[in-house]
Amino acid sequence: MTDVIVRATGLRKSYGKTEVLAGVDLAVRRGSIFALLGPNGAGKTTTVRILSTLIDADGGTAEVAGHDVRTEPAKVRTRISLTGQYAAVDELLTGEENLLMMGRLLHLPRAPRKARTGELLERFDLVDAAKRPVKTYSGGMRRRLDLAVSLLASPEVIFLDEPTTGLDPRSRQDMWQVVRDLARTGSTVLLTTQYLEEADQLADQIAVLDNGRVIAEGTADQLKSTLAGEQVELHLADAGSYDEATRLFNGTALHKDPERRSVSVATGGSAAEVRLLLNDLADRAIAVERITLRRPTLDDAFLSLTGNKR
């Protein structure tokens, strides 16, 4: 795969007796948006920290933009940027001053530094706020400025660790558009996120981590296709029927919600199949109040793959 710009093979990392990564393999295509999903503690942030040269792996290999992260970390750092979960900008400086200061730290000449600052302020819709102290910015504006700072050196690969944490829905939508624009202009984006909708909306490719391993990989549609094309959500009439239904579908139910007395199971979606299911439940004296048919979401695939039922 000649278009692979980030490659990891057999990455391992432990902290004491706790194994965080147990052999992670990744291949990220140039110019794509790649999402790492997984439960808390699955190893997403550790993977990003290894790929961005912040920590060393205990085993395995990784290359970014053709350079080994262990033996050529300085060369890797010239090709990447990393934006963490919280904005790392100086609140006492203005947005413009933050960009100019970082430009000086990157040894950008004066004229290109000023030109790049103006370009990024415009690109991230911060021109009107450029002269204001960052402490007066909203959360979404701080995140946009943080990302603008990370793009001063025009990196080939951008690591975003939960980029929309703490943002309101409108700011999250704005950030999604920024990420799409980055990929559209040729950057490669590798992001971690707790928002499954975010990966569904943005990612060209998704890897699901669980217990330090990649347990599934593909597009959002491919991951959804691991489930049946349709689901039947059964709303049971009483607590006894709910208990009987959960026993009947133990290990195969996609969702279980005791408060709503609902159980979701996979189905092909045909009327004949649904009728057979309801007849079987009636024969077992399991009372169904109503049913809802729906297509699986990335949430369903994620919960099924990681073994977390709800």
Taking only the tens place, the pLDDT of each residue in 236-248 is: 999 999 999 999 9
Task: Using the CB atoms, write b or e for 180-198: b if 16+ within 10 Å.
Answer: eebbeeebbbbbbbebbeb
Residue type, 149: V
Average pLDDT over every residue of 185-198: 87
- For 41, 83, 268, the CA distances from 189, given in Å and listed in that order, are 22, 11, 36
Q: Can you give the pLDDT at residue 40?
A: 81
164 or 10: which leads in pLDDT: 10
User: What residue ranges define each of the domains in the chain, with the CATH number in brackets?
Assistant: 4-224 (3.40.50.300), 230-294 (3.30.70.80)
SS3 state at 139: helix
SS3 state at 210: strand
pLDDT tens digit string along 121-168? 998 889 999 999 999 998 888 888 988 888 888 899 999 988 887 778
Average pLDDT over every residue of 220-237: 79
pTM of the model: 0.73
Q: Is 72 exposed, middle or buried (0-12, 13-18, 19+ CB in 10 A)?
A: middle
